[in-house]
Amino acid sequence: MMEPFIRFCLFHTVLFTVVGVSNSLHDGPLTLLISFDGFRWDYLQKVDTPNFDLLISNGSFVPKGILPTFITKTFPNHFTIATGLYEESHGMVANNMYDPELKEKFHIGDEDSTSSKWWDVGAEPIWVTNQKHGGSSGVYYWPGSEAEIKGVRPDHYKKYSKTTSFKTRIDGVIDWFTGDNPINLGLLYFNEPDHTGHQYGPDSDEILDVISMCDNTTGYLIQRLQEADLFDKINILITSDHGMTELTADHVIQLSDYINTDLFDLVDSGPVAAMNPFDSRNILTVYNALAKKHPNMTVYLKDDIPDYFHYKHNPRIMPIIASADEGWRVVLNKTSLLNNTDKGGHGYNNRFKSMHPFFIAHGPAIKQNFTLDQFNNVDIYPLICKIMEIKAAANNGSLAVAGTMLESHDPHHHSFKPIKISKRLIIAIIIAGGIALIAAILLTGMCVKQRSYRLKDYVPDVPDKESRKALLSEAEDA
């Protein structure tokens, strides 16, 4: 009668041990990547930001902001952050572009702009990398997340709507982290302060209000994470795609002043204009007509674009590129800006300070009260892979600087592997141990009894606000 029970105990000892080793996604690193579109590196100086301050004082901070990729537009830089690739490498080279192989144009916001033909051209975003390694990803409005890439879509994603409240977006991501099939990686996008920066300018009173609103949004995020018992368990990376600069109506360069505009298609305009001559034999004609014609415009043939821009080795980059000085815009003619009243803009040379976004990190993998030097936004992808303990796809990033914010950073080692024992595993071990002990006692009793019969037959277990302002001031002077 006792032998079946002992076999039952031994079987469940093994079962509980195996189940205990099979950890849930929440037993490994959790990461939430957040973008406040157009949040310039020095916006934190303009108003009190107690919630951002909380994360800074208990996390890591880049006083000078990080370096975005050229061109400093929304879709290109968000996809760079997600893939760790320069724009020439991942193919999303502008908000408006032409693909000579597809013979089609891409325009940000068009219904067709979420098609895989634009996004699935070789790059691997972090949500795909995470899912390839057994993780689960939730992406709330990140550019590229609505497209199938490498045969994969995020486990959870939303079709973009700018009218969705910021609280609703936060609640949605929290639900993904706490649901029946929880995610271990989340991406979250907010379209401010970019919208207000364009409308009123980065030095307006209105921008002060929206910075405070972004800080309150962060406070709500902290509150919801605390309520879900996740705040101390999740690694939060908060950044942006670019900064913002002031625009004036008189700082406009009209191409029609210098050339017959019927010779080319102006694929994109603004801080960086992209020109595609209708006849390739006219490339030099167009270039020579524009080069050195305006003191605030630099014109490049594609092959002559400086290497440090990492912006020429892609067919979607047009044969002629004109880059405007800060605050200037390149347009086709005087009617191009007829209905444009923007007082702020971006897209300029990524070396301009006004184009640099902010960066804050907080969480169990992140050093506390730590400041680090400026790094490139291509470094964020490998940083997340390091935190998540997954192998990164090919990328242009480096952990030489960004990796110093990690608690267990080793410049000579390529993976961040903190030792973690899950509560589930501990409980399973205790249960298994208890069952094993009972089985052992019963088995010992039987063995003693059996032995007695045989014998009978023979023999009887942040920096404070003022200090941070000083750091920002030093960074601005540098």
* Domain housing 143: 24-245+350-419
Q: What is the pLDDT of residues 300-332, one digit of tens each?
A: 999 999 999 999 999 999 999 999 999 999 999
Condensed to tens digits (0 to 9), the pLDDT of residues 139-180 reads: 999 999 999 999 999 999 999 999 999 999 999 999 999 999
Assess whether pLDDT exceeds 70 at residue 11: no
Are the beta carbons of 13 and 439 closer than 8 angstroms? yes
Q: What is the pLDDT confidence band of residue 17, given thresholds at 50, 70 and 90?
A: very low
Same domain, 336 and 315: yes
Residue 74 is a catalytic residue = yes
Q: What is the mean pLDDT of the chain?
A: 87
Q: Of 310, 341, 372, which residue is a domain's last?
A: 341
Query: So what's the pLDDT on residue 444?
Result: 46
- 435 domain-assigned: no
Catalytic residue among 31, 72, 74, 239: 74
CB 131 within 8 A of CB 301: no
Contact (CB, 8 A) for 375 and 122: no
Q: What is the pLDDT of residue 25?
A: 61
Number of domains in the chain: 2
**Which 3 state secondary structure label does DSSP give 430?**
helix
Domain stop point among 398, 419, 440:
419
CATH number at residue 217: 3.40.720.10
**235 plus 203 within the same structural domain:** yes
pLDDT digits (tens, 9 = 90+) for 209-226: 999 999 999 999 999 999
For residue 26, the model assigns a pLDDT of 72
Summarize pLDDT for 381-420 with one digit per residue, the tens: 999 999 999 999 999 999 999 999 999 865 444 333 333 3
Together in a domain, 203 and 291: no
- Are 272 and 356 in the same domain? no
Tens digit of each residue's pLDDT (9 = 90 or more) over 403-462: 999 998 654 443 333 333 344 544 555 665 556 556 554 544 544 344 333 323 323 334
What pTM, to 2 d.p., does this model score? 0.84
What whole-number distance in Å separates Cα of residue 421 and Cα of residue 444?
Answer: 32
CA dihedral 79, 84, 89, 94 (to 10 degrees): 30
With a CB cutoff of 8 Å and minimum separation 6, the contacts of 363 are 31, 59, 233, 234, 235, 236
**Do 219 and 294 fall within a single domain?**
no
Per-residue pLDDT tens for 246-282? 999 999 999 999 999 999 999 999 999 999 999 999 9
